[in-house]
Structure 1
Amino acid sequence: MPAQASVIDTAWHPLVNGHAPPWASGWGEDRFGVFVEITVDDVTQCLRWIRPGRFTMGSPEDEPGRYGDEGPQHEVTLANGFWLFDTPCTQALWQAVMGDNPSEFKSPDRPVERVSWNDAQTFLQRINERIPGLDLTLPSEARWEYACRAGSTTALYTGGIKILGDNNAPALDPIAWYGGNSGWEFDLENGRDSSGWSDKQYPHERAGTRPVGLKQPNAWGLYDMLGNVWEWCADPWHDSYEGAPVDGSAWLDDGANTGANRVIRGGAWVSNARGVRAAYRVRSHPYDRVNNLGFRCSRVQP
């Protein structure tokens, strides 16, 4: 079992008197905790409750595959809980809100991809208009990592990682679609050529995204936090965590409105093993549209 980070003890419950928020179409509680649902047309999306807490953000210097921009490690305290999509935004939900589907690997239950950071902002504006009071945003980088870790302190939310080759880390196979397994028995005809990828965990010739929710979730009921598609965060890119907020908020500064690169997290179907860890972080231009980049939505609870 992975080591556990500390979690603030709170009696506050996200639902009042057993009623869903007015913007939700349903709610429930299971072994992962409380969830709510939103519905656009006939498409329903689950959001998981991420309780307040504190965690250590970033990776230790001895973590296998670590890059220098994953530090310095620092404690972050989230005083407020938040709701988070339990999967990346699907093509079905995008289609219901936006009326189109830009994805290369088309199927309703796959993550939407080929959407820029700016495209995601348009989606957020439109879905919030459709459902008054919903107030979805992109998660901050800190909230994303806190949710991904789900109380763990290790490279993966299931424990450590042993990297046997560029695309071979057996601990990833149960939880993530990455370069080592994303082409294994791939089911679409338009998969990208993966024949030249080195050290694959499983042999494959073409690869791409997979339907959401097929791999094991983390301890808070979140699927595909690692692998499948990269996920946009709210924050502009910073080369390290020197001076980063310690309250979980997005790190917005003078570069926030200048077209600066934005943070993406989680790794993707095309990523090598070291790029699919809870602390791994990359930048992308807010206009970029690529077939391994999507997003999931959050709502911070006041």
Structure 2
Amino acid sequence: MTKDNSMEHAIDKKIVKGKSLQEVQPHTKYMACTFYLDYVDGEDLQGTEFDNCSFRGAFRDWGRDTYGLWMAISYKNIRQVMRWIRPGTFIMGSPSTEMSRQADETQHKVIISKGFWLAETACTQELWKAVTGWSGSSFAVDNCPADDVNWDDCQTFINKWNSEMVEWELCFPTEAQWEYACRAGTTTAFSFGDNIAKDQVNYDLKRTAAVKSRPCNDWGLYEMHGNVCEWCEDWYGEYDSTVVMDPVGPSDGTDRVMRGGCCSDSSGNVRSAARYKFWPNENFGEVGFRFCLRSKK
């Protein structure tokens, strides 16, 4: 597989030839190099070019397509593609004129100062069973998302996989990271515009659908709207009305945040800004999660 061979002429590249390396530097052309990499921050791959290079370690299955940078990780040969979400700024929440808007969706400016890897789909039943050893679903189909799993169950999944990893770890996305990734640069009610159809989003139906059965957003993320509601890291709380950087929610609480809406929700409940909350130790219908990936260093 060709690794990110696009030329970027705006910045002069440093040229490195014939070395064995354990790190990648941006805006560099590597020629006939061998890399031993267990984790790479996506920003380190901005402007890189690789000519006849080979990759070893955990970070070997990766590339760039029309949606951006991706990498894949595996558990017992079950592959999960992760998308690099670049840092940026967005308006979180919804305008007062948006349909089905709720009072807790106050618009405010959020700065995401660091990029992060986010799973392109919700965690599937197949992957859930491989990690936990038990089925997390109301609908027993491997390529459907794990659902009817509470926040604590998902944390157990994360901890189990993390106990076997050295260089990187899984985590929940924060609520701000989730909405930033869902919007993918849009300001409309949905990442597809101000209206949706059922061939775009699994909503107002009675059961979950296979992951990747609907089109992805502009950043390569599937089913951010509908299918299963997704747990976030944060305790639920009111938004800060000022500009905030990398918000993580309240320090404690009684409810964890859920986002995205589910297959049985109406269109207004699967909007980019729609917020939900529930007890972390209680199961609640079509609820699953997607995870982030970060370095342990």
The alignment's TM-score, normalised by the length of structure 1, stands at 0.78
Q: Secondary structure at the match of 1:263?
A: strand
SS of the equivalent of 2:171 reads coil
Secondary structure of 2:123's match? coil
How far apart, CA to CA, are the structure 1 residues paired with 2:133 and 2:272? 33
Change (3 A) 1:153 1:20: farther
Summarize the Cα distance change of 1:21–1:226 in structure 2 as closer, same or farther, 3 Å threshold.
Answer: farther
Is there any run of 5+ residues in structure 1 with no aligned partner, and where?
1-9, 162-170, 183-206
Q: How does 1:57-76 map to 2 (within 5 A)?
A: 57-71=92-106, 73-76=107-110
Report the counterpart of residue 228 of structure 1 in structure 2.
227
Residue number in structure 1 paired with 2:289? 295
What do the CA deviations read for 1:175-225 (whole angstroms, capped 9, x no partner)? 21011xx3xxxxxxxxxxxxxxxxxxxxxxxx2111000101000000000
> Could you tell me which residue of structure 1 aligns to residue 69 of structure 2?
34
Alpha-carbon distance in structure 1 between the residues aligned to 2:56 and 2:184: 24
Deviations 1:222-257 (A, max 9, x none): 00000000000000011x3136881223214143xx
Offset at residue 96 of structure 1 (A): 1.1
Aligned-pair CA distance for 1:158: 1.4
Matched ranges for 1:266-285 at <5 A: 266-285=260-279
Indicate how the Cα distance of structure 1 residues 287 and 21 shifts in structure 2: closer, same or farther if over 3 A, else same: farther
Match in the other structure for 1:6: none
Number of aligned residue pairs: 252
Whole-Å separation in 2 of the counterparts to 1:26 and 1:142: 28
Match of 2:43 in 1: 13
After superposition, residues 238-249 of structure 1 pair within 5 angstroms as: 238=237, 240-242=238-240, 246-249=244-247
Cα distance in 1 between the residues matched to 2:158 and 2:56: 18
1:264 is aligned to 258
Residues 132, 252 of structure 1: alpha-carbon distance in 2 compared, 3 angstrom cutoff: farther
Following superposition, the deviation at residue 172 of structure 1 comes to 3.5
CA–CA distance in 2 between the matches of 1:159 and 1:243?
25
Q: What's the counterpart of residue 212 of structure 1?
A: 211
Q: Aligned partners of 1:286, 1:20: CA distance in 2, in Å?
A: 40
Which of residues 198, 201, 205 in structure 2 aligns to 1:176? 201
Note the C-alpha offset of 1:13. Answer: 2.8
Identity of aligned residues (%): 38
Match of 1:97 among 109, 128, 131: 131
Amino acid at match of 1:132: V
Opposite residue 222 of structure 1, the aligned amino acid is L
Cα RMSD (Å) of the superposition?
2.2
| Structure ID, larger Rg | 2
Relative contact order higher in (CA < 8 Å, ≥ 6 apart): 1
- Among 136, 139, 142, the alignment partner of 1:108 is 142
**Is residue 129–residue 136 contact of structure 2 (8 Å, CA) maintained in 1?**
no
SS in 1 for 2:80: strand
Is the partner of 1:68 in helix, strand or coil? coil
